[in-house]
Amino acid sequence: MDHGAAREFVDNWVAAWNAHDLDALLAHFAQHVTFRSPVAAQLIGGDGIIRGKAALRAYWMEGLRRIPDLRFEVLNSYVGVDCLVINYRNQKGGLVNEVLIFDGPLVVEGYGTYLRDDATPAGAAA
């Protein structure tokens, strides 16, 4: 992934999240995407592994329902070979890194990673 494509992706990603526009956000994800997050385990139960685009939509819809003031501020992004890390601050001030693995232009695997206690979303059991 080149830096220009990464910058465009990050700009679109944060704009979609801040607009709560799941269609725009999910347009960047493959049908067979896998996403892992400790927040997913808290919000929807299970092992925190989301399999497939429909399940990812359901998880994010639940997150937006429980966190209506969700907003991200991108602090930095890091480009690798077929991967991108987005470092951001959420609406609670928590620091988060999202690690995204690409196959061509689409994300096929993602990881939400959190700093210490920043993985507890509003409305979720601690």
Domain boundaries, the chain: 3-117
| pLDDT value, residue 36 | 95
Does domain 3-117 fall into CATH 3.10.450.50? yes
- What's the pTM value of the predicted model, to 2 decimals? 0.89
- Predicted local confidence at residue 125, as pLDDT: 36
* Contacts by residues 29-35 (CB-CB < 8 Å, ≥ 24 positions apart): 29/53, 29/56, 29/106, 29/107, 29/110, 30/103, 30/106, 30/107, 30/108, 32/108, 33/106, 33/107, 33/108, 33/109, 33/110, 34/108, 34/109, 34/110, 35/59, 35/109, 35/110, 35/111, 35/112
pLDDT (tens digit, 9 = 90+) per residue, 7-58? Answer: 999 999 999 999 999 999 999 999 999 999 998 888 888 899 999 999 999 9
Q: Give the pLDDT confidence score for residue 42 in this predicted structure.
A: 83
Confidence of residue 73 (pLDDT cuts 50, 70, 90): very high
Region 72-97: what's the mean pLDDT?
Answer: 96
